[in-house]
Structure 1
Amino acid sequence: MHKTDVLIIGSGLAALATASALYPYKKVTIVTKGSIEQNNSVLAQGGIAAAVGNHDSWQEHAYDTLAAGSSHCSEETVHILTKEGISCVFDFIANGMEFDQFQNGSLHFGREGAHRLNRILHAGGDQTGALLFAFLKKRVLPHVEIIEHQIVHKLICDEQGCIGAIGEGRKGEIQAYLAEHVVVATGGIGGLYQYTSNHAYATGDGLMLAYDVGAELEDLEFIQFHPTLLREGNHAAGLVSEAVRGEGGVLVTEDGERFMKGIQPFEDLSSRDIVARAVFGQIQKGKDVFLDISEVEKFNKRFPTIKALCQKANIHLSKNRIPVIPGVHFLMGGIKVNEHGETTIPSLYAVGEAACTGVHGANRLASNSLLECIVFGRRVGCHILSKESRRVVEYKTNYQISRVEESLIMHQADIQAVMMQHVGIIRNGAGLRQAISWFDEELDSLDFSFTRSYPEQQRRRILMLRLGKLIASAAIHRCESRGAHYRSDFPQTSHQWEKQKVTHVLRGVLA
């Protein structure tokens, strides 16, 4: 039995931002299924968007965020993000976070897709996520308890709400964690897809943990496909940041055609849904797509991470062309929360990509994700501090792990291929129904029960089957195209669906 005040599941920027607000006043325990550095935040090459320049305002930032979100954002939470983001960034700078600057000491503001102004702050060129994570890690880690390599199998709830979780260590030891409050900060779902910029651990664990205790999931159909992942043979070898296009990179086919030219209003810097579909369309025609970097000044200095990825993939930058392919980057939906990060289950919070705050709508504006982590991480922490302490009762568990015959478990690659083919960049009703039928057949063959638990490899595959079905179900319910959700059988955006949510609760879908 392990007792703490606040249990945070996950170890990315959102988890650390939440812990940063809590640790002076509460005992905080962070559990994560890998090492603390194994998360999506450290992979984030892009920057952090914030209206901290004299040329900008939170209203301008909010306008761009709402426009990118395709009339599906929550205006309230967008205003929170863009207003409070300014103070969060200034707080980081005041406490020693170093963002890239010009020689005169002024901040360097970059531009990325669907931003009308240069407002993107970077650190270390294309190492913004890693350096923000390192900054918070240095601030937080001496004051919190970190438990690595711990698989969380289920959340524990009583009549008052969530009181903890049950985890499994590397050697199979079962541990019950009891807490006054539990925060899910487990990141996204990129691991469900064949091509993704995400860490392999990003398989939506937190969403299903919350779902299985009755929390609502929302907007699962809105999955952002980044248009430029580094293509190495038949797989993605990492992200090629949108900032490259912000610095002058352009998309071309193998014969040099600039297929984004003339696409308004931003051409190569259009919103990610538009660019991803355009790249996908060229690939469907049998053409290879490249990012032409011939006009990008000092590429190697500005983008050291991308340079290293290219070298590892044996891609010669002297040719000024980087082969790219679109892949899953970000989930706009997630666990339904309010402006304080509260889920529909008392004392259970969600933050970061695992949460659906409404700030991203149907399509996230570039570089708003890191901002969301620090803004709503702080809000979750402050809201927990505003709550009265409650005594957590003892909890006895005889928790046991069931086993499924290994031959019955589908390989992860099969699930990823089905998701990419039928629940990918371009969808249709027939393909979505085929995917749902496939998921049902696989789960039926396992005699699956959500009340049982399984060893990690089996647990992960079962989780992926279940979550894949939920995503496909959300996509088939939304009979329109909006933002990142595009259906070839319903190619138009419908006013009837504006601000309408597809919400999943255990044993049902609310549309």
Structure 2
Amino acid sequence: MMENEVIIVGSGIAALTTAYYLHEHKNVTIFTKRRKEESNSWLAQGGVAAAISIEDHWQCHFHDTIAAGCYHNDEKMVELLVREGPKRISEWMEEGLRFDTKKDGSLHFGREGGHGKRRILHAGGDQTGRTIVAFLLEKLAGRVRMVEDEYVMELLVEHGRCVGIKTKNRSGQIAFHYANTVVLAAGGCAGIYAFSSNSQAATGDGIALAYRAGAKIADMEFIQFHPTMLLANGKAVGLISEAVRGEGAVLVTEDGRKVMESVHPLRDLAPRDIVARAIHAEIQHGHRVYLDVSMIARFREQFPTIAKLCQAYEVDIDKGKIPIVPGAHFLMGGVHVNDHGQTSIQGLYAVGEVACTGVHGANRLASNSLLEGIVFGARAAEAIRRETASPVQLRKKTNDIHSNKKVVNDLPEISTIQTIMSTYVGIVRDEQGLQYAKKWFEQFPLSYFANSSLDHFSINEIAIMHMLLTGWLITTSALQRTESRGGHYRSDYPFERKQWKQRRIWRTKSELNVIA
């Protein structure tokens, strides 16, 4: 007998949306490796993009999404996103979710990079993610089982079907949890870079779990770098939302020169990949880059989270300039899924950033991430509700007590992985750097990590193995794409190849068999 009908791995907006639309129909348990609030969704300052205004239309949102994605998007999936998004958001507003309004009580729509219209809904100024997650947690309180501080170390697959998860807690205890359906909503992998906007929990666990289980993975080369991270003491310490530029802020060098003036017709509101590369080029030439916010009235009121962040790092916003640097932000690829979040493994779904739906193409349009979690979390729930459980023969599981001290001793520090990724697989890439990174990753027993039980390793050691697998996937995918498109920029192949607009690079763990 299965002890759960549905297990959800993760606690961000995609996980909670799936649970929201399932809990009245199925017995749902959510597992998260830290506290339930520790997710990228909780940190999300930006809003939700939706064509709700009478001056907007879903087709306008569709075209902006396709253009930002450099025409690598799955158009069917994009249409689902932009047409169903407003319906879901309207449902939640009727249930009590509140977005920021103007003085007359009408919704306030912001504008961000790549959007042709003001269509971004915000809550609490720059606390949209926290507001939505809190809303969903309140709705789910007492209705779903929530297991915190439990690390999912393996997806259990029997006869080609995912039947549960294996977990380890901080005391080292291993447990097996079975379910009719498992939903992977573990977030992205930007934490494997030195400069990142993400929660420290976002280190690619979900990608590695799916890969080890044999699921298809797509488009791992497409990593979005957010242009504006607060730079303090030589580190990226927090996100400066794109909404700040939407309200008129301008990127400038130390001498006041406008960075984006002649780079793109949309200037500071150009797509993120273009803005990030422009800033990166300035830094490479020895310049410091700032976000000039002097023209924004009531900055502290509009952006309270950012104001507190600046204050915490002694950045005086009254002087009008915030020091910034680009940082890894979002994975456009991930576990390949269909229009209801089903992966290539029966019984396993993936939603949110861990999934590759195809909606983002090669570069995500600003504020489409929360929307994706809402739309495809709801669609996954619809499909799961329709499922009828079929009997599965389960083998008795035992802990693997085998030990391989050599593997443990050879594991790198997390900071070393982050340095390799940022240096050789970052905003600008070339074959020489990618080949170096690939060889560096392949000095470790990746095939062992992908195909062996990891029971005898600590949570931190397993997390490092997952980072190595995910980093290798990004690197080898970037080597194979000999063009520049969106978040993937090759200085040795600086132009798009038109015939590659809809090409997808599929990867399965059998590819590791060629590695010694």
TM-score, normalisation: structure 2 = 0.96
| Corresponding residue to 1:472 among 465, 470, 475 | 475
2:122 is matched with which residue?
A: 122
2:314 is matched with which residue?
A: 314
C-alpha displacement at 1:447, in angstroms? 6.7
1 CA distance for matches of 2:473 and 2:210? 14
1 CA distance for matches of 2:71 and 2:399? 45
1:423 is matched with which residue?
A: 425
Contact 1:342 1:350 in 2 (8 A): yes
| Corresponding residue to 1:498 among 496, 501, 508 | 501
CA RMSD of aligned residues (A): 1.5
2 CA distance for matches of 1:368 and 1:310? 26
Aligned partner of residue 93 in structure 2, secondary structure: helix
Aligned partner of residue 55 in structure 2, secondary structure: coil
Q: Deviations over 1:180-224 (max 9, x none)?
A: 000000000011000000011101111111111110000000000
Q: How does 1:311-350 map to 2 (within 5 A)?
A: 311-350=311-350
1:451 is matched with which residue?
A: 452
Contact 2:337 2:357 in 1 (8 A): yes
2 CA distance for matches of 1:258 and 1:504? 42
Contact 2:212 2:450 in 1 (8 A): no
> Are 1:434 and 2:436 counterparts?
yes
Identity of aligned residues (%): 47
Q: Which amino acid aligns with 1:333?
A: G
1:13 is matched with which residue?
A: 13
TM-score, normalisation: structure 1 = 0.97
Q: 1:449 to 1:496 in 2, by over 3 A?
A: closer
C-alpha displacement at 1:142, in angstroms? 1.7
1:92 is matched with which residue?
A: 92
Q: How does 1:281-430 map to 2 (within 5 A)?
A: 281-400=281-400, 402=403, 404=405, 406-430=408-432
Q: How does 1:167-316 map to 2 (within 5 A)?
A: 167-316=167-316
2 CA distance for matches of 1:11 and 1:340? 19
2 CA distance for matches of 1:267 and 1:449? 44
Contact 2:211 2:450 in 1 (8 A): no
Q: How does 1:42-57 map to 2 (within 5 A)?
A: 42-57=42-57
Tell me which moved more, 150-159 or 325-334: 150-159
C-alpha displacement at 1:365, in angstroms? 0.2
Contact 1:192 1:416 in 2 (8 A): yes
Contact 1:404 1:458 in 2 (8 A): no
1:31 is matched with which residue?
A: 31
Contact 2:170 2:459 in 1 (8 A): no
2 CA distance for matches of 1:484 and 1:392? 42
Tell me which moved more, 18-27 or 157-166: 157-166
1:140 is matched with which residue?
A: 140
2 CA distance for matches of 1:358 and 1:472? 20
2 CA distance for matches of 1:425 and 1:127? 27
Q: Deviations over 1:244-299 (max 9, x none)?
A: 00001000001110020133321000000000000000000111110000111210
Tell me which moved more, 402-411 or 20-29: 402-411
Identify unmatched segments of 5+ residues in structure 1.
none
| Corresponding residue to 1:462 among 456, 460, 465 | 465
C-alpha displacement at 1:450, in angstroms? 2.9
Contact 2:450 2:509 in 1 (8 A): no
2 CA distance for matches of 1:496 and 1:503? 17
1 CA distance for matches of 2:475 and 2:357? 21
1 CA distance for matches of 2:405 and 2:282? 42
Q: Deviations over 1:10-38 (max 9, x none)?
A: 11110000001110010000001001011
Aligned partner of residue 335 in structure 2, secondary structure: strand
Aligned partner of residue 15 in structure 1, secondary structure: helix
Identify unmatched segments of 5+ residues in structure 2.
none
Contact 1:224 1:272 in 2 (8 A): yes
2 CA distance for matches of 1:390 and 1:297? 60
C-alpha displacement at 1:457, in angstroms? 1.1
Q: Deviations over 1:438-495 (max 9, x none)?
A: 1111337x97563120211111111111211111000000000001100000000001
Q: Which amino acid aligns with 1:467?
A: T
Q: What count of residue pairs does the alignment treat as equivalent?
A: 508
C-alpha displacement at 1:54, in angstroms? 0.5
